[in-house]
Structure 1
Amino acid sequence: MDRSTLRRIQLGEELRAWRVENNRTQTDMTTGLKGWNPARLSRVEHGKLPVSAADLARLLDHCGISGADRAELENLVGDGPSKNWWQDHEFADTISAAFAEFLGLEAAATDLWEYFPSAFPGLLQTEGYAREVIAAGLDGLSEDQNEAAAEVRVLRQRRLTDEPRINLELYFGEVTLLVGGDREVLAGQIRHAIEVAQYPNVALRLVPLSAGRHAILSSGLSLMRFPGEPIEGFVFIEAVGGMLPRRSGRDVRRAERAFARLKRYSLSPEDTIAALEHKLEELT
């Protein structure tokens, strides 16, 4: 399991925590240090830029960080560039930095809760269904980019069966089954969802329209967990142009409450499969 993205985020948060605790500014931390400046440190603190062990050591020396604080920081970084599963594929250059962060975290997570209001969650999507959903988005992707993005969604699904398996609790709105499109594509998608929903590590739940507004979130939502790690969890909120990351404890707790509400008003996994089977009969 590749935890490079998670470690990078942890390192940034720990660096920032040390700086704030010691009343240091980013300028204080980097003035006179070759290769470092406030902008670079800011990107490192926000988990957007990897840092080598040698570069980190120079920063720690410059700031006089030693003892247990230093050991904790150095344990979060390794030599050389991070290695992620998608980097060897031909579509790697189509992946944005924000989505790369999402993929890295997903690869490290042990538990994932996800809600899509009007589509099946990405980890359930067939390639044909993914192409339809992506083409309907606002990103204006070319045909090649659309194909690449659909392939990424399919490859991500190895987490469903590869060890260690990720535990999934996936929610989708009933409108997902009402949206027009290619009937054969939707039928194939439903068959696949029924199959995956029976995996021991997957709980799939439909949020019915009859549950009312209080059971429907205004946007897609993902919550990842990393047991044994300092980070409580990581939240992504669906927005125009991608998923917005949220990593504060408050955001994690808000997401937990949202999923508790969804679970309260959604169908059980067994009833969800029955609803999908009924819709499949309509389509075929």
Structure 2
Amino acid sequence: MTTDLSTIRQIRLGDELRALRLEQNRKLLEVTSGLDGWSAARLSKMERAEQPVGPRDLATLLDYYGVTGADREYYENLLGSGPPPKQWWRNLDYAEAITPAFAEYLALEAEASSMLDYFPSGFPGLVQTDEYAMEMIAAGLDSPNEESVEAGAEVRILRQRRLTDEPALTLEAYFGEVALLIAGDQSVLARQIAHAVEVAQLPNVTLRMVPLSAGRTGILSSGVTLMQFPGDTENGFVFIEAVGGMLPRRTGRDVRRAERAFARVKRHALSPADTITALERKVEELT
């Protein structure tokens, strides 16, 4: 199977082009005003990886910024080749409601080969039921309406195809014990826990609970997602849970920091078998 890193390259190239522009203290309009057929909106989309950068586009920008030699080769290598990024959500009825930041997350998730997930107070999105997902989304700070809650839940469920479609994503997911204690509806929670047990039976899924007894050293203050990609073991993308969504952290230092955090969580988490036992016991309590 050939490795497709087009999504990763496109995002990194956009980041690098934006950094290059800012290093030269240039505004979008300043750059594009002298380029035939360009606009500030077009360049902005390229920098945010919402529009692909073609070889001619890249050459034009590098000429403008005066990039030559080895530096120019670096940018050209980032351009890479291959099919366009997987954007399966584009055909959804509510695709226009998906923010650029979330679209970036979805594109990377579609390309990832493995993922580490940690959520302190709920089950990770890739193991949620639609009912549970709607409860979680409705409880968000932005007070979503009923339509946006349903749309968000549907996207969350569609994302779960990565666990069964080939090539299947390898998922190692951690959740805090508090997820078993908080629910808007006890029956919804019971079905969610039973579903999590079922998903954990997949050969590519590992589910582990972080008990409250882990204390400060074993419990992170926010959700963290670390994605790794085929043929690119040295790099990855980290997303940190924050108000309004997941914030990307892309540098190697951020990836190493996330790896250390997951290693710490893993030391304090229950084993996969003990996690299943705890979940099954909770289902019995609720039913």
**2:219 maps to which residue?**
216
**Which residue among 99, 112, 115 is the counterpart of 2:102?**
99
Does the 8 A contact of 2:13 with 2:47 survive in 1? yes
CA RMSD of aligned residues (A): 2.9
What's the secondary structure of 2:220's corresponding residue? coil
Asked if structure 2 preserves the Cα contact closer than 8 Å seen for 1:10 and 1:76, the reply is no
Match of 2:11 in 1: 9
Q: Residues 64 and 180 of structure 1: is their aligned pair in 2 closer, same or farther, counting only changes over 3 Å? A: closer
The offset of 1:119, in angstroms, is 0.5
Structure 2 residue ranges without an equivalent (≥5): none
Q: In the alignment, what sits opposite 1:169?
A: 172
**Hey, what does 2:80 align to over in structure 1?**
75
Stretch of structure 1 that moved more, 25-34 or 223-232: 25-34
Deviation at 1:111, TM superposition (A): 0.8
Determine whether 1:155 maps to 2:170: no
What is the 5 A alignment of 1:90-169? 90-169=93-172
Query: 1:232–1:119: structure 2 CA closer, same or farther, 3 Å change rule?
Result: same
1:269 partner amino acid: P
- Shift in CA distance, 126/56, structure 1 to aligned 2, threshold 3 Å: same
* Cα deviation code 1:142-191 (max 9, x no counterpart): 10000000000000000000000111110000000000321211111111
Instruction: Tell me which residue corresponds to 1:228.
Output: 231
- State whether residues 11 and 76 of structure 1, in contact with CA within 8 Å, keep that contact through their aligned partners in structure 2: no
270-279 or 61-70, which deviates more: 61-70
Counterpart Cα distance in 1 of 2:68 and 2:33: 19
- Structure 1's unaligned 5+ residue stretches are none
1:91/1:74 CA distance change after superposition, 3 Å: same
Instruction: Give the equivalent residue in structure 2 for 1:32.
Output: 34
CA distance in 2, matches of 1:94, 1:31: 30
Does residue 249 of structure 1 match 2:232?
Answer: no
- SS of equivalent to 1:165: coil
Contact 1:4 1:104 (C-alpha < 8 Å) held by counterparts? no
Task: Measure the CA separation in 2 of the matches of 1:89 and 1:37.
Answer: 28
Following the alignment from structure 2 to structure 1, what is the Cα–Cα distance between the partners of residues 239 and 282? 30
CA contact (8 A) 1:115 1:171 kept: yes
Which stretch of structure 1 is more off in the superposition, 179-188 or 42-51? 42-51
Distance 1:107 1:280, change over 3 A: same
- Deviation, structure 1 residue 228: 1.8
CA distance in 1, matches of 2:185, 2:59: 56
Change beyond 3 A, Cα 1:258–1:70: closer
Q: Is the 8 A contact 1:26 1:38 kept in 2?
A: no
Alignment partner, residue 59 of structure 1: 61
CA contact (8 A) 1:171 1:207 kept: yes
Aligned amino acid, residue 277 of structure 1: E
8 Å CA contact retained: 2:127, 2:195: yes
Q: Whole-Å Cα distance in 1 between the matches of residues 204 and 86 of structure 2?
A: 26
Aligned residues: 280
Deviations 1:221-258 (A, max 9, x none): 10001132387110111111111111011111111111
Change in Cα spacing, 1:100 to 1:171, as seen in structure 2 (3 Å) is same
Question: Percent of aligned pairs with the same residue?
Answer: 61
- Which deviations, in whole Å up to 9, do the C-alpha atoms of 1:46-104 show, x marking residues without a partner? 545533444334334555667845652442587xx855000111121221111111000
Name the amino acid aligned to 1:34: D
TM-score, normalised relative to structure 2: 0.86
Residues 247 and 255 (structure 1), Cα distance of their counterparts in 2 relative to 1, 3 Å cut: same
Going from structure 1 to structure 2, the CA distance change for 1:149 and 1:2 (only over 3 Å counts) comes to farther
